[in-house]
Amino acid sequence: MRQYDIHWANLPAPVGRRPVLLLTRTPAFGYLSKVIVTEVTTTIRGIPQEVPLSKTEGLPQPSVANLDNVHVIPIRVVAERIGRLGAGRDREIKRALGYALDWPELKIL
């Protein structure tokens, strides 16, 4: 597991099984029992809290990482890897998180 990988995760109801983008820093996967993720969804609203994802990232249809839906989940519920966010796209995640948390210093990335 690495930061910005996309995996299936078995989230608690009502969310259920869905793709998630891993946000936790890569070295921490070796010792943490919980990790930070954001939901990936096919519901695309076109808001600044979303980062577009597609077949390039391993998803079968156009989707978004929705930074309004960040969770801390047990690492044991993270299942098989689907794909990975493209190189250099981490800035899009940080910008979207800036909008989700109303942190102006990240909105300008």
| Domain coverage including residue 14 | 5-107
Query: Which amino acid does the sequence have at 84?
Result: R
What is the number of structural domains in the chain? 1
What number is the average pLDDT over the span 35-44?
A: 97
Q: What is the CATH number of the domain that holds 82?
A: 2.30.30.110
What pTM did the predictor assign? 0.94
Q: Please classify residue 10 by burial: count the beta carbons closer than 10 Å to its beta carbon, then call 0-12 exposed, 13-18 middle and 19+ buried.
A: middle
- Among 6, 26, 9, residue whose Cα is nearest residue 18: 9
In this prediction, residue 10 carries a pLDDT of: 94
pLDDT beyond 80 at 21: yes
In this prediction, residue 34 carries a pLDDT of: 98
Sequence-ordered list of residues with C-beta below 8 angstroms from that of 49, at least 6 positions apart, any chain: 66, 67, 68, 96, 99, 100
pLDDT tens-digit series, residues 43-83? 999 999 999 999 999 999 999 999 999 999 999 999 999 99
